[in-house]
Amino acid sequence: MNLAQREPSPFKTYDEPERRRWMSSPFLAGMLFLLPSLVLFGVFLFYPMMRTIYLSLYLIDTQGEPLVFVGVENFINLFQSSSFQTSAKATGLFVLYTVPIGLILALVLALLANEKVKGIGFFRTMFSSTMGMSVAASSVIWMFMYNPSIGIMNRLLSGIGMSEVQWLLDPQFALMSVAAATIWMNTGFTFLILLGGLQNIDQQLYESARVAGVSDWYKLRKITLPMLSPTLFFVTVVSLINSFQTFGQIDILTKGGPMESTNVIVYSIYKDAFINYNVGSASAQAVLLFFCILIVTVLQFKLTERKVHYQ
Amino acid sequence: MKKVELINFQKSYDQRTQVLKGIDVIIEPGEFFVLVGPSGCGKSTMLRMIAGLESISGGDLFLGDKKANHLTPSQRDLSMVFQNYALYPHLTVEENITFGLHVKKIFKKEQKMRCEEAGEMLGLTDYMKRKPKELSGGQRQRVALARAIVTHAPLCLMDEPLSNLDAKLRARMRSEIRQIQRKLGLTMIYVTHDQTEAMTMADRMMILNGGEVQQIGKPMDIYNEPKNTFVASFMGAPPMNLIHAKVKGSSLVVDEQWLIPMSESIRAAAQLNEVTIGVRPEHIQLANDDEPGFVVVVSNVEVLGTETLITFNIGDKKQWIARWSGQWNLRIEQPLRIFIEDQHLCLFDAQTGGKLDGSQDSSFLNKEWITI
């Protein structure tokens, strides 16, 4: 006679009515806890995403109703369109302009603000203050600064004897101008996270390095950056994704112009869907952007994994 | 080996409150010197000032014969072990040990040699390629020690290095650190709040309280001749038993219950109305029939195997602890007749806490406590 037969497990409840057993299953209890977020995500994230992928495979009428299944034709059209290529190039350039410079700037500011100096609280507040400003408000500020006749930018230029620049109207400068404004807007957030990361580093590590007598540059390379690597990795991923999805400042400052030079993909999606009523093309672009961000993020994880030191 | 000399050493953070109030001490070359005191007494601050991690507000610091007040930590030619070890989590044990050696113009080959030597001394040879998080607490502690050793600095500072270890490991590391210090002839300044560590490791020690030196001396001298009630109650586990007594005529009266006759000479020396009496736990004995004693009631018994700690009430509020060797099977509430030899009684000024000079003089007290 084996053990199981002699002593039935106390956890098995065959006697209870079927309904109660079903209710008390841990899986169901877990699902109940997840339900609110599942519903929210479902309505505002999963369904729109699925719907976008679905729509990207159809020819759509101006009312947004799918007419004919066309497979990947929307995508092929995109790749052949010069407008999309300009748009992709603008997005790529925009990311290149904003992410590295923004990160380095925020890192330098965070390193400065991490020093124990009198009145450092004032600088910490100033450096992180852009986090508290909406994209719309900051865009308007920058719009005034870039204004060709009354803006401070051109006044500075004429002050040092250079010719004025049409910051937002010259295709050569427009993307850079928007990028500069974007760096300014994002610095507050990146700075704050990096400062938090810096303050988390054990001070005794630096004291030990002081006793050893290594240079500041050596400390930065051998202690600060490795210890900050998880934070740096996080802000890089977030900034990159943010940069790919830029919309607000483009809409306010340039509306994708001049000559489509600032027509980044998200703005192009918006124009195709809500101005040109070409929902099929817009959906296809959205799908491409999604996969592009996904690939870049996965690549980041793969490539930098070994260089990030979690404690 | 290096001599360390502090002259009127002071620290103040806000120019008003003094964290260290003028400390004078000379630490001899090759000496194991322990700074001990309760938390917040300024012992870590003092160590950090010697290391150069905190500025010196007043007084002078001499390392060897050189004034070191304004030298940077690295110019002071010392090594330091931190409480949490300060290991770099992203570097291997080997890289941790050799960190910063290039500054001292030590070549890679020499670095490797020293690292292997220190690793061997501390039993780390098999762990050289591991990261700190893959080590146990004791091994991390050893890496921190190895890092101090490889610099070949003549002066080593340690800031509560054993406080993160469990009791058993702590006991082992105590003797290991002491052996290494002797072998390498290091001058060691060691900070701890643990009086056992201080007693067992120190050549000499300094007891600090509230930024002031209470006593400097060899462990046994401090134990046997505490300068004041603070030292008496801080050193020793369990601490010295203390109780207030009033001077009445030619006698000391303890809590209106006991009377101790006092000799003429001490009464003249100490013109006091109140004193504090101190007795070490091991000096409280069970009275023989022919010895004068006084009766107390047992309130707790802890049998530790080789010895027994007996807690009893003395007076209305005070509890004293007696330490008897062997295993004693006593009942709670059992009355005991105890006896204290007069040479083991210490007298302190009740106001200042300072020791009264004549109190080691055996003629100063007549023998017995008399129950009123």
Beta bridge partners of B339: B285
> Distance, in angstroms, between B237 CA and closest chain A CA?
32
Contact at 8 Å (CB) between A223 and A201? yes
Are B74 and A205 an interchain contact pair (Cβ–Cβ within 8 Å)?
no
Q: Which of helix, strand or coil describes residue B188?
A: strand
* Residues B156, B277 within the same domain: no
Contact at 8 Å (CB) between B110 and B184? no
Using CA atoms, how far residue B220 sits from B151, B172, B201, in Å, is 33, 22, 12
Domain end marker among B194, B228, B262 = B228
pLDDT for position A219: 92
**Which distant-in-sequence residues (6+ apart) come within 8 Å of A220 by Cβ?**
A111
**Residue ranges of domains in chain A:** 3-39, 78-307
At residue B18, what is the residue type? Q
User: For the domain that residue B53 is a member of, what is the CATH number?
Assistant: 3.40.50.300
Using CA atoms, how far residue B225 sits from B266, B344, B354, in Å, is 18, 10, 11
* Chain A interface test: which of B75, B82, B87, B96 (most A C-beta within 10 Å): B82
Number of C-alpha atoms within 13 angstroms, CB side, residue B321?
A: 14
User: What is this model's ipTM?
Assistant: 0.80
pLDDT for position B357: 64
CA diameter of chain A: 102
Q: Which of helix, strand or coil describes residue A232?
A: helix
Q: Between A and B, how many CB-CB pairs are < 8 A?
A: 63
* Residues B33, B134 within the same domain: yes
B104-137 pLDDT, tens digit each: 888 888 899 899 888 888 888 899 999 998 998 8
Q: Which CATH code is given to the segment(s) A78-307? A: 1.10.3720.10
> Distance, in angstroms, between A210 CA and closest chain B CA?
6
Closest partner residue to B100 (CB to CB) among A202, A213, A311 is A213
- DSSP secondary structure code for residue B211 in this structure: T
Domain end marker among B228, B243, B275 = B228
In whole angstroms, give the CA distance from residue B118 to residue B149.
7
> Distance, in angstroms, between A121 CA and closest chain B CA?
20
* Residues B236, B288 within the same domain: yes
Q: Is the pLDDT of residue B370 over 80?
A: no
Average pLDDT over residues B256-276: 68
* Residues B224, B238 within the same domain: no
* Residues B38, B53 within the same domain: yes
In terms of C-beta density within 10 A (0-12 exposed, 13-18 middle, 19 or more buried), how is residue B342 classed? middle
> Distance, in angstroms, between A223 CA and closest chain B CA?
7
| Sequential pLDDT tens for chain A (311 residues) | 444 444 555 555 555 555 555 566 888 888 899 999 999 999 999 999 999 999 889 888 888 788 888 888 888 888 888 888 999 999 999 999 999 999 999 999 999 999 888 889 999 999 988 888 899 999 999 999 988 888 888 888 888 877 777 888 888 888 899 999 999 999 999 999 999 999 999 999 999 999 988 899 999 999 999 999 989 999 999 999 999 999 998 999 888 878 888 888 999 999 888 888 888 889 999 999 999 999 999 998 888 877 777 76
* Residues B138, B112 within the same domain: yes
* Residues B164, B257 within the same domain: no
Domain end marker among B171, B202, B228 = B228
In whole angstroms, give the CA distance from residue B223 to residue B236.
7
* Residues B220, B293 within the same domain: no
In whole angstroms, give the CA distance from residue A107 to residue A187.
9
Comparing B257 with A152, the larger pLDDT belongs to A152
Contact at 8 Å (CB) between B245 and B276? yes
pLDDT for position B262: 67
Are B74 and A227 an interchain contact pair (Cβ–Cβ within 8 Å)?
no
Closest-approach residue (CA) in chain B for A229: B90
Instruction: Report the 3 state secondary structure along A234-287.
Output: HHHHHHHHHHHCCCHHHHHHCCCCCCCCCCCHHHHHHHHHHCCCCHHHHHHHHH
The shares of helix, strand and coil residues in chain A, as percent rounded to the nearest 5, are: 70, 0, 25
Range(s) of the domain holding residue B324? 232-371
pLDDT for position A311: 64
Phi-psi sector, A34: left (phi>0), alpha (psi -120 to 50), beta:
alpha
User: For the domain that residue B263 is a member of, what is the CATH number?
Assistant: 2.40.50.140
Interface of B with A in 87-126 (CB under 8 A): 88-91, 99-101, 103-104
Chain A contact present for B78, CB below 8 A: yes
Average pLDDT over residues B144-163: 90
> Which residues in chain A have their CB less than 8 angstroms from residue B75's CB?
213
| DSSP symbols for B23-87 | EEEEEPTT-EEEEE-STTSSHHHHHHHHHTSS---EEEEEETTEE-TT--GGGG-EEEE-TTTT-
In whole angstroms, give the CA distance from residue B215 to residue B209.
10
* Residues B203, B259 within the same domain: no
Summary count for chain A: helices (H), strands (E): 16, 2
Number of C-alpha atoms within 13 angstroms, CB side, residue A47?
A: 7
* Residues B179, B255 within the same domain: no
Instruction: Please report which confidence band the pLDDT of residue B362 belongs to, taking 50, 70 and 90 as the band edges.
Output: very low
* Residues B68, B11 within the same domain: yes
Domain count, chain B: 2
Chain A residues within 8 angstroms (CB to CB) of chain B: 202, 204-205, 207-215, 222-223, 226-227, 229, 309, 311
Q: Is the pLDDT of residue B38 over 80?
A: yes
pLDDT for position A34: 93
Instruction: Please report which confidence band the pLDDT of residue B363 belongs to, taking 50, 70 and 90 as the band edges.
Output: very low
* Residues B292, B151 within the same domain: no
